[in-house]
Structure 1
Amino acid sequence: MQDQNEGGAPPRFKPVPWMALENAADVELWVEEHNRSMQDNIARHETVYGVCFTLAEGGEIYMQTSPDGAVILDVTPEAAWVAPLIMAAARVEAPAGALWVLPDDKLVQLMIGLSSLIASSMLVVGHPFGRRRHYGAGR
């Protein structure tokens, strides 16, 4: 659940307790605050950054947005139980793997749907979106 540090250095970012988002205005405010935090804390040379949501019932969801605005979710195996909620909130089918790519217009519904399940959030840098499941798989 931590950003990728070399040499066992302590993580740069710490989990922040989650405050439930109840409507579109709450989500928009969270996005604005999250974007400001990323601008303040992530250097220009750093890549593959986003947010990690730790779910109260287990597992993590890593989220980032692509340059074209798509919402990319990397759902850990421990959080696979949340797939039906993502499908319902975003009105999409489940992907073959753990990496979900959703249109940007699904972010508000997704965040409202997930909000009551999130225990904390944390900025992450260097997360290998979708690639970690291939390590040790003969690749």
Structure 2
Amino acid sequence: MRIRSLALATAAVAAAAIGIAPAASATTTGGTPFSLTIGTATATGTAQYIDTGSSSRDMLVTGTITNTGSGCYEILPTNYLGGFFLTSYNGGGICGPGTFTINYRLKGTFQGYVYMCEATTVSNTTGTADCTQNWVGPVTVN
């Protein structure tokens, strides 16, 4: 038993020395459920903050978009600071019937909001959203 404890302690020290941190080092706070519907699509899920140890935090948005029609829809994790809009990103989306799994981490979030919009196309790559004028939201992340 003593040898096993010594081996585990040695492994922990070695991992710390080379910078491997346990998965629990980034803590999540809060968690705000959302349900947004526009046109023939509904997005449901949770948005929560992840404490990164810096002056800002990351926002993790997870869930699904379910579409029963032919249109395109995107989820938009959005960042505000002091009431001013900073960034809104394409958190992924879907064109046509089906379900899309949302799993998007917005880094450096001060105050996060989640929107959903109608889009002309969906690329499912990070970057600027391709929205038309129809938006729903925001859901304020607590």
Whichever of the two has the greater Rg, that structure is 2
Q: Which has the higher strand share?
A: 2
Q: Which has the higher helix share?
A: 1
- TM-score, with normalisation over the residues of structure 2? 0.30
- TM-score, with normalisation over the residues of structure 1? 0.31
